[in-house]
Amino acid sequence: MKGRYITIKKTEDEDRLDKVIHRHLTGVSRSTARRWIEEGAVQVDGMRIRRQSYIVTTGQTVAIYTPVHPDLSDSASQQSTASRCTSGSLIIHEDPWYLVIHKPAGMPAEETLQGRAGTLPHILETTLGYSHIALVHRLDMGTSGIMVVSRKAAATRELNRQFRDHSVEKKYVAIVRGVPYPTPGSIENHLERDPDDPRKMTSRVNSGKHAVTQYEVLATAGEVSLLTVTILTGRKHQIRVHLSERGHPVAGDRLYGSPDDASPRLMLHAWQLAFDCPRTGERRWFSAPVPSVFFTWSGIAPPTRAQFGDGPPHNYS
Protein backbone atom coordinates (compact mmCIF):
# COMPACT_ATOMS: atom_id res chain seq x y z
CA MET A 1 0.00 0.00 0.00
CA LYS A 2 1.34 3.41 -0.92
CA GLY A 3 2.08 5.93 1.80
CA ARG A 4 4.72 8.20 3.25
CA TYR A 5 7.10 6.84 5.88
CA ILE A 6 9.14 8.55 8.59
CA THR A 7 11.72 6.63 10.63
CA ILE A 8 13.05 8.24 13.81
CA LYS A 9 16.79 7.62 13.77
CA LYS A 10 18.05 10.03 16.44
CA THR A 11 17.03 10.75 20.01
CA GLU A 12 16.74 14.47 19.29
CA ASP A 13 14.04 13.71 16.69
CA GLU A 14 11.76 12.08 19.28
CA ASP A 15 8.59 14.15 19.72
CA ARG A 16 4.80 14.21 19.64
CA LEU A 17 3.28 12.41 16.66
CA ASP A 18 1.67 15.55 15.19
CA LYS A 19 4.95 17.47 15.46
CA VAL A 20 6.94 14.63 13.87
CA ILE A 21 4.65 14.61 10.82
CA HIS A 22 4.68 18.41 10.53
CA ARG A 23 8.48 18.57 10.82
CA HIS A 24 9.29 15.77 8.37
CA LEU A 25 6.69 16.35 5.64
CA THR A 26 7.29 19.61 3.82
CA GLY A 27 4.21 21.79 3.50
CA VAL A 28 2.05 19.79 5.92
CA SER A 29 0.71 21.92 8.77
CA ARG A 30 0.22 20.62 12.31
CA SER A 31 -3.54 21.04 11.96
CA THR A 32 -3.50 18.75 8.92
CA ALA A 33 -1.29 16.26 10.77
CA ARG A 34 -3.73 16.26 13.70
CA ARG A 35 -6.69 15.63 11.41
CA TRP A 36 -4.90 12.71 9.71
CA ILE A 37 -4.19 11.24 13.16
CA GLU A 38 -7.79 11.69 14.34
CA GLU A 39 -9.12 10.07 11.15
CA GLY A 40 -6.94 7.01 11.62
CA ALA A 41 -4.66 7.62 8.64
CA VAL A 42 -1.46 7.33 10.71
CA GLN A 43 0.27 4.21 11.99
CA VAL A 44 3.33 3.77 14.19
CA ASP A 45 5.12 0.45 13.70
CA GLY A 46 1.98 -0.95 12.10
CA MET A 47 -0.41 0.16 14.85
CA ARG A 48 -3.02 2.86 14.13
CA ILE A 49 -2.53 5.77 16.53
CA ARG A 50 -5.29 8.35 17.06
CA ARG A 51 -3.61 10.33 19.85
CA GLN A 52 -1.82 13.50 18.68
CA SER A 53 0.38 13.60 21.79
CA TYR A 54 1.71 10.06 21.27
CA ILE A 55 5.52 10.22 21.64
CA VAL A 56 7.42 8.68 18.74
CA THR A 57 10.76 7.26 19.90
CA THR A 58 14.03 6.27 18.25
CA GLY A 59 13.69 3.32 15.87
CA GLN A 60 9.95 3.68 15.33
CA THR A 61 8.46 4.19 11.85
CA VAL A 62 5.49 6.43 11.18
CA ALA A 63 3.34 5.59 8.13
CA ILE A 64 0.81 8.07 6.74
CA TYR A 65 -1.93 6.93 4.35
CA THR A 66 -4.22 9.67 3.10
CA PRO A 67 -7.13 8.72 0.84
CA VAL A 68 -6.81 10.01 -2.71
CA HIS A 69 -8.57 9.14 -5.94
CA PRO A 70 -6.25 6.72 -7.77
CA ASP A 71 -6.53 8.54 -11.09
CA LEU A 72 -5.81 11.97 -9.66
CA SER A 73 -3.04 11.48 -7.14
CA ASP A 74 -0.08 12.47 -9.30
CA SER A 75 1.32 15.96 -8.99
CA ALA A 76 1.31 16.56 -12.76
CA SER A 77 -2.48 16.16 -12.83
CA GLN A 78 -2.84 18.57 -9.90
CA GLN A 79 -0.59 21.16 -11.54
CA SER A 80 -2.46 20.89 -14.85
CA THR A 81 -5.78 21.49 -13.10
CA ALA A 82 -4.36 24.39 -11.12
CA SER A 83 -2.92 26.04 -14.22
CA ARG A 84 -6.39 26.26 -15.78
CA CYS A 85 -7.93 28.07 -12.81
CA THR A 86 -8.87 31.74 -13.03
CA SER A 87 -11.01 33.91 -10.82
CA GLY A 88 -13.84 33.68 -13.32
CA SER A 89 -13.75 29.87 -13.49
CA LEU A 90 -13.34 29.30 -9.76
CA ILE A 91 -15.35 31.99 -7.93
CA ILE A 92 -19.15 31.70 -7.98
CA HIS A 93 -19.83 34.37 -5.36
CA GLU A 94 -17.64 36.74 -3.38
CA ASP A 95 -18.62 38.12 0.03
CA PRO A 96 -16.36 40.04 2.45
CA TRP A 97 -16.71 37.10 4.87
CA TYR A 98 -16.65 34.09 2.54
CA LEU A 99 -16.20 32.80 -1.02
CA VAL A 100 -18.37 30.30 -2.86
CA ILE A 101 -16.16 28.15 -5.09
CA HIS A 102 -16.65 25.84 -8.07
CA LYS A 103 -13.87 23.32 -7.45
CA PRO A 104 -12.81 21.37 -10.56
CA ALA A 105 -12.25 17.63 -10.46
CA GLY A 106 -8.58 16.90 -9.89
CA MET A 107 -7.90 19.81 -7.52
CA PRO A 108 -7.17 18.85 -3.90
CA ALA A 109 -9.27 20.82 -1.43
CA GLU A 110 -6.59 20.47 1.23
CA GLU A 111 -2.97 19.57 1.83
CA THR A 112 -1.84 16.21 0.48
CA LEU A 113 1.25 14.12 1.04
CA GLN A 114 2.79 16.11 -1.81
CA GLY A 115 2.32 19.34 0.19
CA ARG A 116 0.16 22.44 -0.22
CA ALA A 117 1.01 23.44 -3.81
CA GLY A 118 -1.90 23.09 -6.20
CA THR A 119 -4.51 22.86 -3.44
CA LEU A 120 -7.59 25.07 -3.38
CA PRO A 121 -6.38 27.36 -0.54
CA HIS A 122 -2.95 27.67 -2.16
CA ILE A 123 -4.45 28.70 -5.53
CA LEU A 124 -6.86 31.17 -3.91
CA GLU A 125 -4.02 32.80 -2.01
CA THR A 126 -1.06 32.68 -4.40
CA THR A 127 -2.72 32.76 -7.82
CA LEU A 128 -5.86 34.80 -7.18
CA GLY A 129 -4.57 36.98 -4.33
CA TYR A 130 -7.06 36.21 -1.56
CA SER A 131 -5.86 36.07 2.05
CA HIS A 132 -6.84 34.37 5.31
CA ILE A 133 -8.61 31.50 3.53
CA ALA A 134 -9.94 28.78 5.85
CA LEU A 135 -11.67 25.54 4.87
CA VAL A 136 -14.92 24.71 6.68
CA HIS A 137 -15.71 21.56 4.67
CA ARG A 138 -14.06 19.49 1.94
CA LEU A 139 -14.63 17.64 -1.31
CA ASP A 140 -12.64 14.63 -2.48
CA MET A 141 -10.01 15.42 -5.08
CA GLY A 142 -11.94 13.63 -7.80
CA THR A 143 -15.24 15.34 -6.95
CA SER A 144 -16.11 18.61 -8.67
CA GLY A 145 -18.57 21.23 -7.52
CA ILE A 146 -19.58 23.80 -4.99
CA MET A 147 -17.76 24.71 -1.79
CA VAL A 148 -17.78 27.61 0.64
CA VAL A 149 -14.54 28.86 2.21
CA SER A 150 -14.14 31.41 4.98
CA ARG A 151 -12.28 34.73 4.81
CA LYS A 152 -12.67 35.81 8.46
CA ALA A 153 -12.31 34.11 11.82
CA ALA A 154 -15.90 34.98 12.76
CA ALA A 155 -17.14 33.42 9.51
CA THR A 156 -15.09 30.29 10.17
CA ARG A 157 -16.68 29.86 13.60
CA GLU A 158 -20.22 30.42 12.31
CA LEU A 159 -19.89 28.20 9.23
CA ASN A 160 -18.24 25.46 11.27
CA ARG A 161 -21.20 25.64 13.67
CA GLN A 162 -23.68 25.26 10.80
CA PHE A 163 -21.85 22.24 9.38
CA ARG A 164 -21.57 20.73 12.86
CA ASP A 165 -25.31 21.25 13.47
CA HIS A 166 -26.14 19.79 10.00
CA SER A 167 -28.10 22.89 9.04
CA VAL A 168 -26.18 23.25 5.75
CA GLU A 169 -28.08 21.69 2.83
CA LYS A 170 -25.97 19.73 0.35
CA LYS A 171 -27.15 18.09 -2.86
CA TYR A 172 -25.01 16.15 -5.33
CA VAL A 173 -25.42 14.68 -8.80
CA ALA A 174 -23.90 11.25 -9.48
CA ILE A 175 -23.68 8.67 -12.23
CA VAL A 176 -23.66 5.16 -10.70
CA ARG A 177 -23.41 1.61 -11.95
CA GLY A 178 -26.74 -0.19 -12.16
CA VAL A 179 -30.13 1.05 -10.94
CA PRO A 180 -30.50 1.60 -7.17
CA TYR A 181 -33.75 0.32 -5.64
CA PRO A 182 -35.96 1.53 -4.11
CA THR A 183 -36.14 5.06 -5.43
CA PRO A 184 -36.27 7.41 -3.76
CA GLY A 185 -34.23 5.67 -1.09
CA SER A 186 -32.27 6.34 2.07
CA ILE A 187 -29.11 4.78 3.53
CA GLU A 188 -28.32 5.20 7.22
CA ASN A 189 -25.53 3.65 9.27
CA HIS A 190 -22.17 4.58 10.85
CA LEU A 191 -18.88 5.11 9.03
CA GLU A 192 -15.31 4.69 10.20
CA ARG A 193 -11.95 4.07 8.60
CA ASP A 194 -11.49 0.60 7.13
CA PRO A 195 -9.06 -1.30 9.43
CA ASP A 196 -7.75 -3.24 6.41
CA ASP A 197 -7.19 -0.24 4.12
CA PRO A 198 -6.50 3.19 5.67
CA ARG A 199 -7.42 4.92 2.39
CA LYS A 200 -11.03 3.80 2.71
CA MET A 201 -14.05 4.21 4.94
CA THR A 202 -16.47 1.40 5.77
CA SER A 203 -19.88 1.08 7.41
CA ARG A 204 -20.47 -0.19 10.93
CA VAL A 205 -23.59 -0.87 12.99
CA ASN A 206 -22.65 0.55 16.38
CA SER A 207 -19.29 2.30 15.96
CA GLY A 208 -18.05 5.23 13.90
CA LYS A 209 -19.90 8.41 12.93
CA HIS A 210 -23.59 8.50 12.07
CA ALA A 211 -24.21 8.99 8.32
CA VAL A 212 -27.43 9.50 6.36
CA THR A 213 -27.65 9.60 2.55
CA GLN A 214 -30.84 10.12 0.54
CA TYR A 215 -30.96 9.48 -3.21
CA GLU A 216 -33.35 9.49 -6.13
CA VAL A 217 -32.90 7.91 -9.56
CA LEU A 218 -33.71 10.47 -12.26
CA ALA A 219 -32.85 8.51 -15.40
CA THR A 220 -31.05 5.41 -16.65
CA ALA A 221 -29.20 4.49 -19.84
CA GLY A 222 -27.70 1.08 -20.43
CA GLU A 223 -25.93 0.01 -17.24
CA VAL A 224 -25.73 3.41 -15.50
CA SER A 225 -28.14 5.71 -13.67
CA LEU A 226 -28.26 9.43 -12.94
CA LEU A 227 -28.98 10.25 -9.30
CA THR A 228 -29.52 13.28 -7.15
CA VAL A 229 -28.05 12.65 -3.71
CA THR A 230 -28.71 14.61 -0.53
CA ILE A 231 -26.48 14.07 2.49
CA LEU A 232 -27.86 14.92 5.92
CA THR A 233 -24.41 14.38 7.44
CA GLY A 234 -20.99 15.12 5.97
CA ARG A 235 -18.73 12.12 6.52
CA LYS A 236 -15.59 11.33 4.56
CA HIS A 237 -16.42 9.45 1.34
CA GLN A 238 -20.01 9.13 2.57
CA ILE A 239 -21.77 9.00 -0.81
CA ARG A 240 -19.13 6.75 -2.37
CA VAL A 241 -19.23 4.24 0.51
CA HIS A 242 -23.00 4.14 0.83
CA LEU A 243 -23.70 3.64 -2.87
CA SER A 244 -20.87 1.14 -3.32
CA GLU A 245 -22.06 -0.98 -0.40
CA ARG A 246 -25.52 -1.01 -1.99
CA GLY A 247 -23.91 -2.49 -5.09
CA HIS A 248 -23.99 0.72 -7.13
CA PRO A 249 -20.57 2.40 -6.99
CA VAL A 250 -20.11 5.85 -8.47
CA ALA A 251 -18.81 5.52 -12.03
CA GLY A 252 -15.09 6.23 -12.16
CA ASP A 253 -14.55 5.28 -8.51
CA ARG A 254 -11.56 2.93 -8.61
CA LEU A 255 -11.26 2.94 -4.82
CA TYR A 256 -14.77 1.72 -3.95
CA GLY A 257 -15.72 0.27 -7.33
CA SER A 258 -13.78 -1.66 -9.95
CA PRO A 259 -10.06 -0.81 -10.24
CA ASP A 260 -10.51 -1.25 -13.99
CA ASP A 261 -13.33 1.32 -14.30
CA ALA A 262 -12.75 3.16 -17.59
CA SER A 263 -14.95 6.19 -16.88
CA PRO A 264 -13.32 9.53 -17.78
CA ARG A 265 -13.50 10.80 -14.18
CA LEU A 266 -15.19 10.26 -10.82
CA MET A 267 -18.83 10.95 -11.75
CA LEU A 268 -19.73 12.81 -8.57
CA HIS A 269 -20.53 16.53 -8.50
CA ALA A 270 -21.47 18.79 -5.58
CA TRP A 271 -24.38 20.59 -7.21
CA GLN A 272 -26.19 22.71 -4.61
CA LEU A 273 -25.29 24.28 -1.29
CA ALA A 274 -27.48 26.30 1.09
CA PHE A 275 -26.36 27.96 4.32
CA ASP A 276 -27.01 31.04 6.44
CA CYS A 277 -24.76 33.96 5.52
CA PRO A 278 -22.38 34.28 8.50
CA ARG A 279 -22.47 38.06 8.15
CA THR A 280 -26.23 38.73 7.80
CA GLY A 281 -27.96 35.48 8.78
CA GLU A 282 -29.80 35.42 5.43
CA ARG A 283 -30.35 31.99 3.88
CA ARG A 284 -28.31 31.68 0.69
CA TRP A 285 -28.62 29.11 -2.13
CA PHE A 286 -25.86 28.44 -4.65
CA SER A 287 -25.36 25.90 -7.42
CA ALA A 288 -22.45 24.80 -9.60
CA PRO A 289 -23.17 23.67 -13.20
CA VAL A 290 -23.28 19.91 -13.70
CA PRO A 291 -20.37 19.02 -16.04
CA SER A 292 -21.57 18.17 -19.54
CA VAL A 293 -19.39 15.02 -19.53
CA PHE A 294 -21.92 13.45 -17.15
CA PHE A 295 -24.44 13.43 -20.00
CA THR A 296 -22.22 12.96 -23.04
CA TRP A 297 -20.44 9.99 -21.48
CA SER A 298 -23.49 8.28 -19.98
CA GLY A 299 -25.88 8.91 -22.86
CA ILE A 300 -28.44 10.29 -20.40
CA ALA A 301 -30.25 13.44 -21.48
CA PRO A 302 -30.00 16.40 -19.05
CA PRO A 303 -33.04 16.24 -16.73
CA THR A 304 -35.81 18.81 -16.78
CA ARG A 305 -36.33 21.35 -14.01
CA ALA A 306 -39.28 19.30 -12.73
CA GLN A 307 -37.14 16.16 -12.48
CA PHE A 308 -34.47 17.96 -10.49
CA GLY A 309 -37.04 19.09 -7.91
CA ASP A 310 -36.87 21.92 -5.39
CA GLY A 311 -33.98 24.33 -4.98
CA PRO A 312 -32.26 26.99 -7.05
CA PRO A 313 -32.48 26.89 -10.86
CA HIS A 314 -30.52 23.94 -12.26
CA ASN A 315 -27.82 24.48 -14.82
CA TYR A 316 -25.34 22.53 -16.92
CA SER A 317 -21.91 23.45 -18.27
- The set of catalytic residues is 140
SS3 of the chain: CCCEEEECCCHHHCEEHHHHHHHHCCCCCHHHHHHHHHCCCEEECCEECCCCCCEECCCCEEEECCCCCHHHCCHHHHHHHHHCCCHHHHEEEECCCEEEEEECCCCCCCCECCECCCCHHHHHHHHCCCCCCEECCCCCCCCEEEEEEECCHHHHHHHHHHHHCCCCEEEEEEEEECCCCCCCEEEEEEEEECCCCCCCEEEECCCCEEEEEEEEEEEEECCEEEEEEEECCCCCCHHHHHHHHCCCCECCCCCCCCCCCCCCCCCEEEEEEEEECCCCCCEEEEECCECCHHHHHHCCCCCCHHHHCCCCCCCEC
Neighbours of 12 (CB within 10 A): 8
Residue-level length of the chain: 317
Residue 67, phi then psi, degrees to nearest 5: -70, 125
Give the angle 114-116-117 at the CA atoms, nearest 5°. Answer: 85
Integer Cα distance of 138 and 143 in angstroms: 10
Sign of the CA dihedral with 161 first, then 242, 237, and 41 last: positive
